[in-house]
Amino acid sequence: MKTRFILINTSHAGNVGAAARAMKVMGFDDLVLVAPRWANVLRREETIQRASGALDVLSNARIVETLDEALDGMAHLCATAMTPRDFGPPTRAPRAHFAELLGSGDTLSNKELTAQAQNAQKPDSVAFLFGSERFGMQNEDVYRCHVALSIPTNPSFSSLNLGAAVQLIAYDWREALGGFSVQAAAAEPRLADAAAVSGMLRHWEEALIGIGFLDPASPKKLMPRLNQLFNRAGLSSEEIHILRGVAKAMLAARPSADKTVPVRGNPPAPADTPAAS
């Protein structure tokens, strides 16, 4: 999907750099500036510093005088506006709107499915328009748009930085388009099977009796509790090995390692076992 970010009357060079970086990190590269405060904003030191490696986005960026020029070739226009207007395109949260726009709206409530969305065809290009830091978007620019996106924010502090707003919209749009995958660790450890877990638990039971922690005459729910704990932890085969090693060491360390029958009657009171269970 052709995607363009359009910054209108931006005054802080740092925000242009931050926007370029925010776009690139989400895989977008088409940036157009409409009448920025600084004509040389793409080459200013602060811009380049905040862009931090997204220099290709800056060097491909266009500076134009009017919004008309910036909208060239763009079908679906999204204003970004934090303050509601009593006239203009409908105000929507980005995620809900993107789901509608891309046709995954069937997971939304009927309330959110406007007549518009039900009948709309998918556009082939989307432009996101951002107003100036101080004044936001002008009404006449908002009126040209199909939707006013409003990022849901703290009602008592909705002052979102321009670069941060670009970052959030770029993220939501990328996720709506299918998203990048998370680089997981090379291989997630395989869960040990139930037989491995119960074998380990028998080993531990023997060891805990051996060191006098578990009284076989009054086992209470110690072993089921440990079983539940290890189930929640989702043990890997490697961890089964570690835990069996601990059991083995406990058995080797018990006071009478040569005995096979545990001493009855005088184990120390199990400190961690609840009094009743």
Binding site for a copy of itself (CB under 8 A): 18, 21-22, 24-27, 50, 52-54, 82-88, 90-93, 95, 114-116, 119-120, 150-155, 157-161, 163-164, 167-168, 171, 174-175, 179-186, 188, 191, 231-234
Each residue of 223-259: b (16+ CB within 10 Å) or e? Answer: beebbeebeeeebeeebbeebbeebeebbeebeeeee
Closest distance of CB 4 from a copy of itself, Å: 17
Judged by CB, which is closer to a copy of itself: 11, or 251? 11
Q: Strand 91-92 to strand 2-8: parallel, antiparallel, or no bridges (unpaired)?
A: unpaired
Instruction: Give the residue from 140, 146, 154 showing the smallest Cα distance to 120.
Output: 146
- Between 88 and 212, whose beta carbon lies closer to a copy of itself? 88
Decide whether 41 or 162 has the Cβ nearer to a copy of itself: 162
* Alpha carbons within 13 A on the beta-carbon side of 167: 13
Shortest Å, Cβ 273 to a copy of itself: 21
Q: In this complex, which beta carbon is closest to a copy of itself, that of residue 241 or of residue 254?
A: 241
Q: How far is the CB of 86 from a copy of itself (least distance, A)?
A: 5
Distance of alpha carbon 211 from alpha carbon 182, whole angstroms: 45
CB of 244 to a copy of itself, least distance (A): 20
Element (H, E) at 164: helix 162-176
Which of 17/262 has CB closer to a copy of itself?
A: 17
Least distance to a copy of itself, CB of residue 84, Å: 5
Q: How far apart are CA 72 and CA 36, in angstroms?
A: 18
